[in-house]
Structure 1
Amino acid sequence: MSGRAREGPWTALHRKYPRTVAVLATLIALLVVGDALLVARYVRYTREAARLREEMTDAERQRTDMLAASDQNRLGIMLELLRRQAAGDRELHLSVSVDSALMRLERDGALLREMHVRLGGERTVGTPPDTVRVVTPRGARSVERVLGPRDGWEVPTWIFHDRSLPVPHERSIAGALGAGALVLSGGTVIYAPPDSGVLADSAYVIPGAVRVSRSDLRAIAPNITPGITVYFYE
C-alpha cells in the first residue's frame, strides 16, 4: 500500500488545497482567540460585580436584587454598578446623571464641582434612507479630544438638516462647538452654547449630546485631558 493511500482526509485536503487549508486554520485560530477574550472579559465583569456587591449596604443589595428579578432590568443593574464604580474612582473623572441632568467633576469620592446640564433628546435624525437613531449615552466613555475656540469640529450633515440649514461644502468648522468642548469616544460631545454658527440657539441641544454652561465648562476645562473617564448613569 502506498504512502498516499494511507493519507487522512485532512492531509489529502492540505496537499491538494494548501492555501485554502491555511486560511481555514487561521480563521479557526482567530475564532478561538476571540472566544477566549470574551470569556476573559466576562470573568473580569463578574469579579468586578462581586467586588462592588460586597461594598454595598444591605439596602443597596436589596435594591440590586429587586432589579435582578426581571431580565428587563439588566441594564438598570449595570448602570447601578457603574454609578458605584464612578463613586469609588480614585482618578479625576466626570459623572453625568442622566435622570437628574447633573454633571459632576469628582476624584476619589470627593465632589469638586456640580453642574446643571441639558441633554439632547433621543430621536431618529437624517433623511431617509440615510437615518440614524441617536440616543442618550449610557455607560463609560473617555475623553478623546479637548477643543478650544480655534479647533475644528466636523458638524454632521444631519445637524444642518435638523436645523433646516444648507449643508456647506466644508463641514469642519473652527469653533462650531463654541469656545470649548469635549469630544468623547463614540462621538458624544459635551459643549457650551456658542455665540455664532449652526448651534447658536439657546433652545437647541444636539441630540445625544450634553450641553453645559460656558462658565462651568470654562472652570473645568483646565483639568480635563484626553483619557479621562466620563460615566453616564441614571
Structure 2
Amino acid sequence: MLTVYSWPTPNGHKVHVMLEECGLQLGRDWEAVPVNIGAGDQFKPEFLAISPNNKIPAMVDPHGPDGKPIALFESGAILLYLAAKTGQFLPQTDRLKFQVLQWLMFQMGGVGPMIGQTHHFRQYAPEKIEYAINRYTNETRRLYGVMNKQLESSRFMACDEYTIADIAIFPWLRNWENHGIDWADYPYLKKWFNLIAARPAVQRGVKVLADLRRPITDDKARDILFGKTQYQKR
C-alpha cells in the first residue's frame, strides 16, 4: 500500500486526485497520513526523513522501481512517478509528453508560487501591503490569462488529452475568489475548470483530509507557517 503524507492544500490534493484518477482506492491501495502543517508536524524528524524540505506531500511506495521501498517528496515528482508506475496521464509520444511536461513546469514554477503569494498577502499577511497585493494579484491574473488563451484551442491544458498537467493546475484554482478573479474574464478557463471539477475522481480527491483543515486564526499557527519557526535550523 502506498503511504501519502499530506494535508488538504492544493499540492496535497494534486496527489490525492492523481491516485484516485489512476484507479487507486483510498484505504485499499493507498493511505493518507495527515501532516498538520499548522501544528508543526512537518518539522518532526520522521517526516523530515522523507521530505527534507519540510513540505507536504510526500509519499512512500514499498514497491519501488527496483522492488525496494522508495520515498519521494515534491508533488510534481510524485505525479510523474505515479504516471510512470501506472502508465496513465502522461502521453507516450515525445511531442505530447513534452507538451505536458512544459505545462506541469508552468504550474510548479508559476501558478503554484505566484498564486500562493497572492493568497498569502490577500488573506494571511498580518498587515495589508498594497504593493504586494497588487504585485501578486496582477501576476495571478496574467497567469489565468495565459491558461485561458491556451484553452481557446485545446480541450485540456496541455493537449486534447486529460493529463497530469490538468491534475497539477486544477487544485490551485479552486480558491479563485480569494485570488481576485472574475471568471467572466476567462471563459475558456472557466469551461475547463468546470469540466475538471465534474470528474468523480477529482471530487473524491479533494475531499481527502478536507474535514481536518481549519482556518488559520491563531498566532501560533501563523508563526509555524509564516514566522520564525519556518526558518529554524534543523
Structure in which a larger fraction of residues adopt strand: 1
TM-score w.r.t. length of structure 2 = 0.25
Larger RCO (CA within 8 A; separation ≥ 6): 2
Between structure 1 and structure 2, the one with the greater Rg is 1
Structure in which a larger fraction of residues adopt helix: 2
TM-score w.r.t. length of structure 1 = 0.25
